[in-house]
Amino acid sequence: MLTEQIRPAGNGAEKLLDVRDLRVHFDLGGGTFWDRVAGGKAARRIVKAVDGVTLAVRAGETLGLVGESGCGKSTFGRAILRLVEPTGGQVVFRGRDLARLSKEEMRRERRHLQMIFQDPYASLNPRMTVRDIIAEPLETFGLARGREADERVRELMRRVGLSPRFIKRYPHEFSGGQRQRIGIARALALHPDLIVADEPISALDVSIQAQIMNLLQRLQREFKLTYLFISHDLRAVRHMSDRIAVMYLGRIVELAEARAVYEEPLMPYTKALISAVPVPDPEIEARRRRIVLEGDVPSPINPPSGCRFRTRCPYAIADCAAVVPPLVEIKPRHFAACIRISPEEPHIERVAASSAPGLKFVAAANGA
């Protein structure tokens, strides 16, 4: 398949994470109450939150994952760590398929994979002190106890910008930004290789957001971390990421280096997302053309056939309803899922009406 070509650019660093055709479906049962009242056997409703995602991440890089709310990006991050169980596909971490491990084997692997959660208020146990929260993973894996654990907790607090004097305080005694620093310290406690940061700044004030992003970048250099940075804030993702993957309704529609995604986006969906980001210069902002997508995001229970973005795409043609577009390398290290573009003509605005040059890639992607 052409998606097997999707590998990050870089300096030849080790491929740390290789996600192949990952699917996460949630079974809601058969129909609604009124469907059953009407009689007959209602079809089962399946939420296809993540539906065939293939990505690879190299050690030391930050891969940004963006998309509208409900596109499946948080579910994707949780499925990597098996906080939700994958329905299918592979999550290969340093040669081991996490999706096939037993619960005990996965528990041991979690020492190398950690998560920073979105809500710093809900992700910390209000009955535990800062010391207990940060030391819990150390004690769980038998790495430190007693005074040794206390000292390591103090060192981690210093690393994330918290005074060790606060070690006996409870979460409610801290601000939102300080709570997120506690969550970051907890994620660092085991010296993981990969951290999934799920919307780590969305619940924070704008001034604090910049501090947390700078902290994450500094810690990445110091601890040689790899990040999957999930966010709907395109400015934050651009600041943090080496590469960016754009997700729509459970699938990746564009993947490229961060600068390429912002300066030369290929997908109409990506262009619309970028056009919605405000520019601080009022003169430039006044001259910019905002791309407004028509219609609502379809339900993941009954997604459109073919290209899932076609119901909102201004360039959709009849073939878009019949063909599932593969993720194809349109430019060097720049992938997009659209049958209306090709390496010969990557700009969809210039493609002739009703033309679909990308159809030639469909058979190859299906192994024909």
pLDDT at 283 exceeding the cut of 70: no
Residue 177 CB partners (closer than 8 Å, separation 6+): 120, 204, 205, 208, 211, 212
Question: What confidence tens digit (pLDDT) does each residue in 210-234 have?
Answer: 999 999 999 999 999 999 999 988 8
Taking residue 276's Cβ as centre, other Cβ atoms within 10 Å add up to 13
C-alpha span between 128 and 125 (Å, rounded):
6
CA distance 182 to 184: 5
Residue pLDDT, tens place only, 301-339:
989 999 999 999 999 999 999 999 999 999 999 999 999
Query: Cα–Cα distance between 341 and 343 in angstroms, integer?
Result: 7
pLDDT in tens, 126-137: 999 999 999 999
